Structure 1
């Protein structure tokens, strides 16, 4: 078979070029530490590497979401713990204030302490995160969530929104605690109704509970209870008689319109109190009302004042329980976040191990191949040089 000079040159150039390309590829692998730098290096391994990198990117995003939620919930849980401590102190201060031996000045001192505690609670309720967003505003993180209006009532300017963080495929965790859950919507300590005791009360009694027992028959209204002789009369807001309990015995509950009311003690003849449908109680409002009660020397040690205090203490206990509920929500979420974070870290370890098997370079093998390729390139170049100088005219 005859070989033309052009064909001989072409074959030798291809040989040298291929050796140079293979040598360059090994040098690139040594510089990157990766066996697969392009899809052409190993198409099958490259596809697997792409899938694993994509999985790691998703896991990294989950971990970022977990870090965000963990930071916010950790701060919220800590703030709620502080709020519980303050509320417990408020309860102790309130019990101290009703000591009959205290002077008006002493009670005012207690009231001032309670006002300071209330301000601390308001500061906690209006806490911000590191970005300047309000922790307890729900979705409304840009506006101060809590304030007192002109009438002295606590107002919540936030909402009940819970910002969900995606922490795994198909799994979300709330990254915040709405302020109404923590500070506003505690169950009424009496049940479903709040009681207003009148200043003229002379009997030693208080409402122990006022609950809706039959929602179908329940008629929400403001009811007035009046002791008429030995009988207890109940009227609605239109002054219509609802029921009369003859020879009232406080050991037996009063039932009407799907409501059951239990009294601790017996009203004196002429005593009256009203009852308003209010299934939830605000911790902030309760403390504010307690301060007003303590600062009123004409009421704090009266039968009505003592009855009102008993209701306030029930609502404060309920408020503390509500803080514990909100804190428990944060704690359970943090526990879940820790569990998912550990799972994702383990997944990354497995993925990285698989990536290492697919793409990491065996340096000893690569160096050996480089030396072989360099020798082959040198040989091919030498042969090409010698063959390229051969001419038929040299032998004529």
Structure 2
């Protein structure tokens, strides 16, 4: 078979090019430490590598979100813990002020301490993170959430929304506790109504419950209760609405029985006296700030705390205060629960990343010993082909003539 010079040259150049390509591929693998650098190196492995890399990238984003949520919830949990500790100190001051031997000056001193603690509690509720965002403002984090109005009542300027962070596929975790949930919306200890006692009260009684018993017949309004002599040695209770219309009369009142009217049940503990009165107004939730402020006002009102009305009011304030503290504890517990869940998700992501990296290693990591050996063999073959080609290329018929 006849082989032309051109054909011989082309074949040898092709062999050299293939060898050089293979050598270049081996050099890339040795430089990167990876067996698969392009899809052409191993199409099947490349698909698996791409999927695993995408999973790891997604997990990295989840981990960043977890770190962000953990940081904010840790600060939130700490602040709520401080609020709880401060609140218990305020409660101790409230109980101390009941001491009948205290003078007005001593009660004023306790009121001053409570006012200072109330300011500290407000400062905690207006806490900010490192970026200046308010922790307890809901999603309205650029607005200070808590401030007293001119009437001395706490006003919440945040919202009830909760910020979330995606910490796993389909899983969004809260990263904050809304301020109204933590400090403002404690259940009213009385039920659905707030109670106002008359300063002229002489009987020893407190309202233990004032709630909506039958929503179907409930008539929303404020109501007043007057205890009157029925002329038969007993006492009746007259109930009036806010327009001073007589709603009902309970004859021969027995404090062990519930007063029921307009879908409302009112329970009394103790024994009222003729001439006593009280009123109720709709109030389903209470604010721990307003509760403390009302207690301060009571202690600053001379000897009012030692009157029957003052004692009844204080009992109501203590119950509402305890509900307010429970509300703070609930917020703190929610923060702790979320932190625990975030820790679990972080641990799961770390395990998944470890498994993915192990699989990636199998698919793409280079066996250096085999690669170096193959590179050396390829170099040897290239040198041999190159030498042979150069020798053959020098052969000429004229050398034999």
Indicate the residue corresponding to 1:200 in structure 2: 200
Indicate the residue corresponding to 2:363 in structure 1: 358
Residue 317 of structure 1 and its aligned partner are, at CA, apart by 0.5
For 2:270 and 2:368, the matched residues in 1 are separated by 90
For 1:28 and 1:131, the matched residues in 2 are separated by 46
Give the TM-score, by structure 2 length: 0.97
For residues 160-218 of structure 1, the C-alpha deviation after alignment (integer angstroms, 9 at most, x for no partner) is 01112111221111111000000000000111110011111111111111111211121
Indicate the residue corresponding to 1:239 in structure 2: 244
Q: Secondary structure at the match of 1:319?
A: helix
Indicate the residue corresponding to 2:42 in structure 1: 42
For 1:320 and 1:370, the matched residues in 2 are separated by 74
Indicate the residue corresponding to 1:223 in structure 2: 223
For 1:150 and 1:217, the matched residues in 2 are separated by 36
Indicate the residue corresponding to 1:333 in structure 2: 338
Stretches (4+) displaced over 2 A: none
2:210 and 2:267 in contact (8 A); partners too: yes
For residues 260-286 of structure 1, the C-alpha deviation after alignment (integer angstroms, 9 at most, x for no partner) is 111111211111111001010001111
For 1:332 and 1:86, the matched residues in 2 are separated by 22
Once the two structures are superposed, the pairs formed by residues 155-234 of structure 1 within 5 Å of their partners are: 155-229=155-229, 230-234=235-239
For 1:298 and 1:223, the matched residues in 2 are separated by 28
Indicate the residue corresponding to 1:147 in structure 2: 147
Range with greater deviation from structure 2 (356-365 or 198-207)? 198-207
Indicate the residue corresponding to 1:369 in structure 2: 374
Q: Secondary structure at the match of 1:205?
A: strand
Indicate the residue corresponding to 1:378 in structure 2: 383
2:104 and 2:303 in contact (8 A); partners too: no
Aligned CA-pair RMSD: 1.1
For 1:193 and 1:118, the matched residues in 2 are separated by 24
For 2:295 and 2:395, the matched residues in 1 are separated by 113
For residues 22-69 of structure 1, the C-alpha deviation after alignment (integer angstroms, 9 at most, x for no partner) is 112112111111111111111111111111101111111111111111
For 1:214 and 1:325, the matched residues in 2 are separated by 29
2:283 maps to which of 260, 278, 284: 278
1:137 aligns with 2:137: yes
For 2:348 and 2:20, the matched residues in 1 are separated by 46
Indicate the residue corresponding to 1:55 in structure 2: 55
How many aligned positions are there? 396
Residue 298 of structure 1 and its aligned partner are, at CA, apart by 4.1
For 2:375 and 2:58, the matched residues in 1 are separated by 37
Indicate the residue corresponding to 1:75 in structure 2: 75
Indicate the residue corresponding to 1:349 in structure 2: 354
Q: Secondary structure at the match of 2:249?
A: strand
For 1:29 and 1:105, the matched residues in 2 are separated by 86
2:271 maps to which of 266, 271, 283: 266
Indicate the residue corresponding to 2:107 in structure 1: 107
For 2:329 and 2:237, the matched residues in 1 are separated by 39
Residue 254 of structure 1 and its aligned partner are, at CA, apart by 1.0
1:299 aligns with 2:304: yes
Range with greater deviation from structure 2 (22-31 or 189-198)? 22-31
For 1:40 and 1:168, the matched residues in 2 are separated by 33
Q: Secondary structure at the match of 1:207?
A: strand
For 2:120 and 2:395, the matched residues in 1 are separated by 99
1:392 aligns with 2:397: yes
For 1:393 and 1:235, the matched residues in 2 are separated by 135
For 1:265 and 1:115, the matched residues in 2 are separated by 32
Once the two structures are superposed, the pairs formed by residues 84-99 of structure 1 within 5 Å of their partners are: 84-99=84-99
2:188 and 2:284 in contact (8 A); partners too: yes
2:73 and 2:175 in contact (8 A); partners too: yes
